Structure 1
Amino acid sequence: MTHAYYSTVLDHPVERVWAEIRDFGSYEWAGAGYAATLEDGRPGDAVGCVRRIPVPDGPPMRQRLLAHSDLDRGYTYEVCEPSPLGVTDYRATLRLVPITDGDRCLAEWSATFECPPADRADRVAQFRDRGFAVWLGSLRAALGAGEIMVDRT
């Protein structure tokens, strides 16, 4: 398995950030320029619900919610096959951790997936730098400007 990880500190209370991202069907905060929809009218915290995201020049991406926790402020999802991402067995977790010093929040986004060994570095950069970093930057903008503190491992 290949692993991609990105984290950042948001200068907002964890409850405020969780309120923004809690609904798996709401994806506008990611700044992708299009809205996701949930299939079958299920709520955005229902494990098993499927989020459909439009993809330019291709079929929509479908993502299934595998776990959702208000207590842990996070969720895990998988990309339904076939994946338009160029990988297989993609599973990601987005979670928030309260930082009590300054009433801030650590946002962590990670994914595991399979891909050919020759593609690993590019796929990790794709998800970490051109995905998670961009989407969490858009979340920061949606919440209001704040300092950026990043850990890329």
Structure 2
Amino acid sequence: MPKPYASAVIDAPVDEVWTLVRAFGGIAAWHPALDTCVLTGGDDRTVGAVRRLTAGDAVFVERLTGLDDAARTQTYEFLESPFPVRAYRATIRVAPVTASGATFAEWWAEYEADEADTARLTPFFRDAVYAAGLAELGAHLAARR
């Protein structure tokens, strides 16, 4: 099972970063690939919440499957996706960098796909979704200061 992974150090306090990441319906405010995000079921505080995302003509529907404030992790799964994947489950986690007051953020997924699709999708998820998202999250927080 492929496991694309990206991480970044964000120059902001962990609680500030977690507030943005935790808002399941707020990802379009900081992810550069997304045009919209609308909660269609539940709310940001409830496991089981569903969001509908658009990126150009692409539509994604995701369900929040795990939320742990103590560990600062959020896990979600695809309900609908234009990608040829099965059993896609992603997690984003943030933790304090105690030496500097910054935040260590990591984002990864596990999914199933045909081998030919995996070779294309794993670097795409790693670079265009997770790494780009974390970079923009840092830039978004820096612009707010």
Normalised by the length of structure 1, the TM-score is 0.87
Alignment of 1:6-21 (within 5 A): 6-21=6-21
Partner of 2:87: 89
Partner of 2:53: 53
8 A Cα contact 1:39 1:50, kept in partner: yes
AA partner of residue 99 (structure 1):
V
Structure 1 residue 33, shift from structure 2 partner: 4.7
The aligned length equals: 142
8 A Cα contact 1:7 1:108, kept in partner: yes
Query: Deviation string for 1:31-59 (max 9, x for gaps)?
Result: 2352201013x21121001010024234x
Partner of 2:106: 108
Question: Tell me, what secondary structure is at the counterpart of 1:39?
Answer: strand
Q: Percent identity?
A: 39
Structure 1 residue 131, shift from structure 2 partner: 1.0
Partner of 2:68: 69
Partner of 1:37: 38
AA partner of residue 20 (structure 1):
L
Q: Which runs of 4+ in 1 moved over 4 A?
A: none
AA partner of residue 140 (structure 1):
G
Structure 1 residue 19, shift from structure 2 partner: 1.4
8 A Cα contact 2:34 2:53, kept in partner: no
CA distance in 1: counterparts of 2:91 and 2:14, whole angstroms: 16
Question: Tell me, what secondary structure is at the counterpart of 2:99?
Answer: coil
Q: Give 5+ residue unaligned stretches, structure 2.
A: none
Alignment of 1:122-141 (within 5 A): 122-141=120-139
Partner of 1:150: none
Superposition RMSD in Å: 1.4
AA partner of residue 46 (structure 1):
T
CA distance in 2: counterparts of 1:130 and 1:32, whole angstroms: 8
Structure 1 residue 88, shift from structure 2 partner: 1.1
Query: Deviation string for 1:88-122 (max 9, x for gaps)?
Result: 11100000011101111110000001111122221
Normalised by the length of structure 2, the TM-score is 0.91
More helix by share: 2
Structure 1 residue 74, shift from structure 2 partner: 1.4
Question: Tell me, what secondary structure is at the counterpart of 2:24?
Answer: coil
